[in-house]
Amino acid sequence: MRNVPKKKIIYGAVVVIFLIVLLHPDMNGRRSYEYIPKEAILDNLYYAVTKSFKLNNSTNECDYRDIVFDDTTLSPSLKDGDLDDGHKIRAGGECAPLECRPKFSTAIVVPYRNRPEQLHDFLIYMHTFLRRQQIHYRIYVIEQLDSLPFNRAKLMNIGAKLAMKAGFPCLVLHDVDLLPLRPANLYACTYNPRHLSSSINKFRYVLPYLHLFGGAIAIRADQFRTVNGMSNQYYGWGGEDDDFYSRLENKEIKICRFEPATSVYYMLNHKPEVKGEQRHALLDRAEKRMPLDGLNNLKYTEIAATLHPLFTHIMINI
């Protein structure tokens, strides 16, 4: 073997150790955010169901203790066959447990454009995941048809508005490329808005910054109204979730999270979106715009609305 100088070996070892420390998720603040401990989750949930939906006549209420303590991790590659008929999903992607009376009604709002395979995988996965949680839910997919840059937040407002009109007390605002891997990550609202996706594979399971409030979040309908929903002005990628966070901050509404191990998500692969050019300028004036820009000035054209077997499909031009 060639004679390698001692200095070089020591230098190499230091670099390797440094990289291990730097790249290891546990060394990157994975546990550095506050979260609701498992034992306290049931006391922090917001128990509310829609009045209009006919729930079953079961006398026993669903019990959520087991799901909160469930330590299963699902595989992100569920296929069509995994969605069995027993799920009894109603047209429009609405479902409720048959075996007990649910204590939560959640609308899952998904902004969407041009990713049919991803949408297919998302729907199969989510119905399997949600069915296991014994909640009442409905999936709304809001599709932007025009050729303007994608406006995620405006699509969220549109879906939220429809879901609130249908009486949903809890909204989950969800990207189509994210799959929650832990059934313990209950898709119900907590009293405070909750960041669900704090531990994503793409970010090596590290929360990039403490006030990140994008990806998948759960918020009570009344709180969503209090902040006038999200801004309608963010075209292209980025900033709209930070804007939403500053709205909550402005109204002194604190966010919360579950522990990192429960908040694990798998991000499906896709090409990066075009970044929004105006996002920094918009963010600078986020709080000032809140009273005028959001649910109260929401305008769009609905092109079609259909009840697909797995989701409510709203097609719009923004």
* Shorter beta-carbon distance to ligand BGC: residue 251 or 280: 280
Instruction: Tell which one of 93, 102, 180, 239 touches ligand BGC (CB under 6 A).
Output: 239
Give, in order, the Cα–Cα distances in Å from 196 to each of 39, 75, 144, 262, 277.
17, 18, 24, 9, 27
Should residue 238 be labelled a site residue for ligand BGC when binding is judged by CB under 6 A?
A: yes
Number of residues that bind ligand BGC (CB under 6 A): 7
DSSP 156-200: HHHHHHHHHHTT-SEEEEE-TTEEE--TTS--S-BSS-EE---EE
C-beta closer to ligand BGC: residue 50 or 263? 263
Q: Judged by CB under 6 A, does residue 214 bind ligand BGC?
A: yes
Least distance from ligand BGC to the Cβ atom of residue 294, Å: 17
CA nearest neighbour of 199 among 33, 29, 24, 30: 30
Tell me if 103 sits within 8 A of 137, measured CB to CB.
no
CB contact at 8 A, 217 and 193: yes
> Does residue 149 touch ligand BGC according to CB under 6 A?
no
For residue 94, give the nearest of 107, 81, 82 by alpha carbon.
107
Residue pair 164/49 in contact (Cβ under 8 Å)? The answer is no
Taking the complex as a whole, the smallest distance from the CB of residue 268 to ligand BGC amounts, in Å, to 15
Span interacting with ligand BGC, options 52-60, 104-112, 137-145, 235-243, rule CB under 6 A: 235-243
Assigned token pair, 95: 């479902």
CB nearer to ligand BGC: give 25 or 238: 238
- From 142-150, 207-215, 224-232, 260-268, give the range in contact with ligand BGC by CB under 6 A: 207-215
Rounded Cα distance, 248 and 254, in Å:
7
**37 vs 208, which CB is nearer to ligand BGC?**
208
Report the residue number whose CB is nearest to ligand BGC. 214
User: Minimal distance in Å, beta carbon 156 to ligand BGC?
Assistant: 13
Looking at the Cβ atoms of 158 and 206, the one nearer to ligand BGC is 206
Contact residue for ligand BGC among 12, 208, 291, 309 (CB under 6 A)? 208
Kindly tell me which of 183 and 239 has the beta carbon lying closer to ligand BGC. Answer: 239
Residue 291 contacts ligand BGC per CB under 6 A: no
Residue 156 burial (CB < 10 Å; 0-12/13-18/19+)? buried
At residue 124, the 3 state secondary structure works out as helix
* Largest distance between two CA atoms of the chain: 80
What residues line the site for ligand BGC (CB under 6 A)? Answer: 208, 212, 214, 238-239, 241-242
